[in-house]
Amino acid sequence: MSQQATDATHRLVSSPAGRIHLVEQGTGPLVLLVHGFPESWYSWRHQLPVLAAAGYRAVAIDVRGYGRSSKPADAAAYRMLDLVEDNASVVHALGERSAVIVGHDWGSTIAANSALVRPDVFHAVGLLSVPYAPRGGPRPSEIFARMGGDDEFYVSYFQELGRAEAEIEPDVRGWLAGFYAALSADTMPAPSAPDPHFVSRGETLRDRFPAGRLPGWLSEDELDVYAGEFERTGMSGALSRYRNMDRDWEDLAEFDGTPITQPSLFIGGSLDASTSWMADAINAYPTTMPGLLSSHILDGCGHWIQQERRDEVNQLLIDWLTALPTASA
């Protein structure tokens, strides 16, 4: 496969989680890459060699609960502040004082909060797919409970320990294939079909997934890599991120309404629900991200943005990194 991290180095470093597994390629200023759900470091396989070739030290982690990183048993161990400290620990374990941080999906939210809570470590932040929205408003669980009418929003569905695991773990590979396809531009259901972000009462999330075809960005071999990780670790560590949203709301109270002031980047997909649902957050960037240097919505792109449109995303990342102030480069 082209543009793969074939000569990258795998390492384990100490963190508050116990250990964080990372994959590293290149030398130069550190760029820390943080994946989302349900993925791993592997979702950055197309970015690692490109960033390395451009003169950066590109490092993609397995977030705690994923891959070869530690998987604490307590669901409360996956709160946002813990993940922020994991990221800071990785930077220091690599012998660096600061880094650019880039995240996708949940990784975007983790990256944004890393920049917010630890500006001493993270001097620039790139957000893919999920926009930054400052902490505020009602508890997240109250918001999600009001969504969907008679249907249940997927975030609410993920809350109960063991419930989503019982759906996913008997056929991890098949579930992942359907989930990836449901949010990809070339395989997502038609707008008239039931929304795959919601669950009908008494049914499962996968009942609304498309079947029979992988998205164009995902080969059978690549799906095997993703599935193999979750078949080994189970899903509870990954799902625990969703189970801490109310705890995060409490933990981050002092940052209510706080903007991110570091130089920043946003890239979204026009067909991604995260972009449409959070359009107000994107429109508020002049206030909430006053350091924004570059913002892009990729026409006809779904959720898995750095895999669906890897060449465009790679170029946008390089252009942004090159444009960072000298002290941040």
Q: In sequence order, what are the residues at sequence separation of 6 or more whose Cβ sits closer than 8 angstroms to the Cβ of residue 101? A: 31, 32, 34, 87, 111, 114, 115, 122, 124, 125, 126
**H/E element, 58:** strand 57-61
- Rounded to whole angstroms, the Cα distance separating 324 from 326 reads 6
Helix (H, G, I), strand (E, B) or coil at 163: helix
- Rounded to whole angstroms, the Cα distance separating 88 from 76 reads 19
Helix (H, G, I), strand (E, B) or coil at 275: helix
- Rounded to whole angstroms, the Cα distance separating 73 from 56 reads 35
**H/E element, 144:** helix 140-145
- Rounded to whole angstroms, the Cα distance separating 231 from 224 reads 10
CATH (one of 3.40.50.1820, 1.10.10.350, 3.30.70.20, 3.10.580.10) for 9-328: 3.40.50.1820
CA proximity to 129, closest of 159, 102, 165: 102
CA proximity to 128, closest of 106, 143, 161, 154: 106
Per-residue model confidence as pLDDT tens for the chain (329 residues): 344 556 899 999 999 989 999 999 999 999 999 999 999 999 999 999 999 999 999 999 999 999 999 999 999 999 999 999 999 999 999 999 999 999 999 999 999 999 999 999 999 999 999 999 999 989 999 999 888 788 999 999 999 999 999 999 999 999 999 999 999 999 999 999 999 999 998 899 999 999 889 999 999 999 999 999 999 999 999 999 999 999 999 999 999 999 999 999 999 999 999 999 999 999 999 999 999 999 999 999 999 999 999 999 999 999 999 999 864 54
> Are the C-beta atoms of 153 and 128 separated by less than 8 Å?
no
> Are the C-beta atoms of 66 and 238 separated by less than 8 Å?
yes
Catalytic: 311? Answer: no
Catalytic: 105? Answer: yes
CB-neighbour burial class of residue 294 (10 A; exposed 0-12, middle 13-18, buried 19+): middle
Catalytic residue selected from 62, 86, 105, 251? 105
Catalytic residue selected from 21, 123, 197, 303? 303
Q: What is the DSSP letter of 184?
A: S
Q: In sequence order, what are the residues at sequence separation of 6 or more whose Cβ sits closer than 8 angstroms to the Cβ of residue 163? A: 157
The residues spanned by each domain of the chain are 9-328
Angle at which helix 220-233 crosses helix 172-182, to 10 degrees, equals 120
